[in-house]
Structures are given as structure tokens and as C-alpha cells.
């Protein structure tokens, strides 16, 4: 089983980082729209540069396996907080909102699940196929 550990951790890092690389880039290219959405959800848009840095910077660090445990910790927290702010609070339970509630619930659970993946990386480290390993910090 040890022979699959390094490639499995690399594949996991790639898969975990894809969503945040695309999301962070989308926030850059759609900055005004994202800022407006954040404001509409009660989140100050002044935080958008920090969100972009966390998503894009953190996911690129995960991708290459640099400071993986720190990036994984930060992204796990980001997943839980953003899931709560943008999805959990949207779950009302009223009869007319069932579809929206289900979409918000699924989005919230997606965030929680991804946080679990990042916590796994926090515990395991980046593995042998990483910058951390080359620096002796895996």
C-alpha cells in the first residue's frame, strides 16, 4: 500500500485544488459581480482580495505541495466559514423554498466535505511528490 501513497496524495492535492483555482480566477475576472454578491449576502466586499488570495494562493500551494499543512488548515476553515455564510444561512425550511433549500444544503455539505479532505492533508502532509518533500518538510 505504501507504493500508492505518494501518487494518491498528489492526485488528491490536484483534485482538491482544481475547484479553488477556477473559483479564485473567476473572482478576479468577475470581481464586481462577486463583490456585489458578497454584499447582498451581508459579507463586506472589502474581504474579496483576502478571499481571492486564500482560494487562489492556498490552492496553488496545495497543488504543488508547498506549506501544505498551513494551506490545508486555512482552506478547511475557509470552506466551513464560506459554507455557513453563503449556504447554511440560506436554508429556511419553508415549503416554497424546498428546491433552494436542497441546493443550499448540498452546497453547504460540499463545503464541509472538502474541508474534510483538507483536514486529511493537514494530518498526512503533502507526500513525497511535493515541494515540501524536496525541502524536507513533508
pTM assigned to the model = 0.89
Q: In this structure, what DSSP letter does residue 42 have?
A: T
pLDDT at 103: 84
Residue with cell 452546497: 107
Q: Please state at what angle helix 68-86 crosses helix 2-29, rounded to 10 degrees.
A: 50
pLDDT at 88: 81
Question: pLDDT tens across 9-57, in order?
Answer: 999 999 999 999 999 999 999 999 999 999 998 999 999 999 999 999 9
Nearest-angstrom CA–CA distance, 97 and 16: 31
Amino acid at each position: 500500500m505504501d507504493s500508492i501513497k505518494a501518487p494518491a496524495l498528489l492526485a488528491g492535492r490536484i483534485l482538491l485544488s482544481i475547484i479553488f483555482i477556477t473559483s479564485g480566477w473567476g473572482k478576479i475576472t468577475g470581481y464586481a459581480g462577486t463583490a456585489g454578491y458578497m454584499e447582498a449576502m451581508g459579507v463586506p466586499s472589502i474581504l474579496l482580495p483576502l478571499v481571492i488570495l486564500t482560494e487562489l494562493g492556498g490552492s496553488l500551494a496545495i497543488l504543488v505541495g508547498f506549506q501544505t499543512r498551513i494551506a490545508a488548515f486555512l482552506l478547511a476553515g475557509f470552506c466551513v466559514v464560506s459554507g455557513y455564510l453563503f449556504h447554511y444561512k440560506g436554508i429556511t425550511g419553508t415549503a416554497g423554498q424546498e428546491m433552494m433549500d436542497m441546493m443550499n444544503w448540498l452546497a453547504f455539505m460540499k463545503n464541509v466535505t472538502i474541508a474534510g479532505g483538507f483536514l486529511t492533508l493537514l494530518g498526512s502532509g503533502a507526500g513525497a511528490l511535493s515541494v515540501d518533500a524536496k525541502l524536507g518538510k513533508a
